[in-house]
Amino acid sequence: MYNKKVMPDIPSDIQETNHKLREIVFDHLDIFKKISLLEIYLREEEIEKGKAILKKVHEIIHVPNQKFDWKVFYQTVNALHNDFLTQLKRRFPLLDEKEILVCCLTKIGFSNIEIAFLIKSNPNKIQKIKTLIREKTGMKKQESFAKQLEHRSNKETTYE
């Protein structure tokens, strides 16, 4: 699903950490996807024989109104990237939860397509969210979103 990007402006150890974090997020979500697709791969007679098991799997995986818990992801990004999330929230309190999530996913190198997949959206919507983030944080439209995000969330940089 994703590419291991080489980002020349980012040290290789940080790139490797981001790559591992991306793998963990995709692996976790891939488990849910595979279980959800189980019925597609089964023949009708297999589905009939395994109805009770499939029902239990659905009850476990598709708990009503339950969403993916991003708390561990946020904690990991914060720990691995010098309090990135803490700094982002402190510097830009007007960012909403979805905008913060897009910032964190961008921070570790996810593309708009990958972000859209993870948050069940589409790439155009992600671009619109990034435009709102640019407006709220004073980023320039012509410059790289990821680079500006890094600069704006840096502890040593101060903004009004």
- Residue 5 falls inside a structural domain: no
Lowest-pLDDT range, 34-43, 72-81, 85-94, 140-149? Answer: 34-43
Secondary structure of 65-112 as H, E, C letters: CCCCCCHHHHHHHHHHCCCHHHHHHHHCCCCCHHHHHHHHHHHCCCCH
Q: What does the DSSP assignment read for 126-159?
A: HHHHHHHHHHHHT--SSS-HHHHHHHHH-TT---
Give the predicted TM-score (pTM) of the model.
0.63
pLDDT value at 20 more than 90 = no
DSSP-derived 3-state class of residue 5: coil
pLDDT digits (tens, 9 = 90+) for 61-119: 655 555 666 787 888 888 888 889 999 999 999 999 999 999 999 988 888 888 887 77
Do 60 and 89 belong to one domain?
Answer: no
Cβ pair 88, 103 in contact under 8 A:
yes
Of 66, 84, 110, which residue is a domain's last? 66
Q: What is residue 103's predicted lDDT score, i.e. its pLDDT?
A: 95
- Residue 6 falls inside a structural domain: no
Structure-model confidence comparison of residues 23 and 83, the more confident one: 83
Do 51 and 129 belong to one domain?
Answer: no
- pLDDT-based confidence at 133, cuts 50/70/90? very high
pLDDT value at 3 more than 50 = no
Domain limits for position 46: 11-66
Q: What does the DSSP assignment read for 22-55?
A: HHHHHHHHHHHHHHHTHHHHS-HHHHHHTHHHHH
C-alpha span between 33 and 9 (Å, rounded): 34
Share of the chain above pLDDT 70, in %: 67
- Residue 84 falls inside a structural domain: yes
Per-residue pLDDT, averaged over 20-28, amounts to 71
Mean pLDDT score across all residues of the chain: 76
C-alpha span between 88 and 83 (Å, rounded): 8
Amino acid symbol at 20? K
Query: In total, how many domains does the chain have?
Result: 2
- Residue 2 falls inside a structural domain: no
Distances (CA, A) of 128 to 24, 113, 160: 27, 13, 24
